[in-house]
Amino acid sequence: MFTGIVTEVGTVLSVTPRAAGVRFRIATGYDLEEIAIGASIACSGPCLTVVERGRKEGRGFFDVEASSETLARTTLGDWIPGRRVNLERSLRMGDEFGGHLVTGHIDGLATIVERHDEADMARFVFEAPGDLVRYIAPKGSAALDGTSLTVNTVEGNRFEVMLIPHTLAVTTWGERAKGDRVNLEVDLIARYLERLARPS
């Protein structure tokens, strides 16, 4: 489980095809002694399992693997060496809960259709698939590329968020532009409420 509060930006070092997926090596500043093999790390949204960790040429890294299903449903299929990714380690007992409940299970992709820089902030407008936008509500939360963001408005299949300078500086959002696709995880509570409201 995660909160959508990005704690570091890593860099993809290598992309190695596997029999049924891809193995990524990601440079990190995390303390490697605190990352166990088998640990979960959200990498720009998707929850991936650490299969190796180490240090090479003075840089710390960890390896994760993504299945063909994950590659098809997320932006991971587009990742190349040099790409920067938002990172968040899984919650531990006693950690501050600063965002919202995020599982790391991506529901689909949203596309940036507008970006407006307003002073030192940025307003983004996204278009989401119709079967997902119904879970997005004004003043609710959505996880976009692993970042917990507050929704300002929703109109049809489009919704808007405003990013503050801190978020733009400590995540990959400062680099995002019109036309980019991002990983979308809708609010978990909204999904459960819909399920409970359905006739049995």
Domains of the chain by start residue, with CATH = 8-89 (2.40.30.20), 108-197 (2.40.30.20)
Listed in sequence order, the DSSP H helices in 74-187 are: 130-133, 165-170
Mean model confidence pLDDT for the chain: 93
Instruction: Please report the pLDDT score of residue 192 as a whole number.
Output: 63
**Which strand (E) or helix (H) includes residue 23?**
strand 21-28
Rounded CA separation 91/104 (Å):
12
- 140 pLDDT above the threshold of 70: yes
pTM across the whole model:
0.92
In contact, 75 and 87? CB cutoff 8 Å:
no
State the residue for tokens 């040099």: 82
Instruction: Please report the pLDDT score of residue 101 as a whole number.
Output: 84
Q: Left if phi > 0, otherwise alpha if psi is -120 to 50, otherwise beta: which for 146?
A: left
Rounded CA separation 134/194 (Å):
10
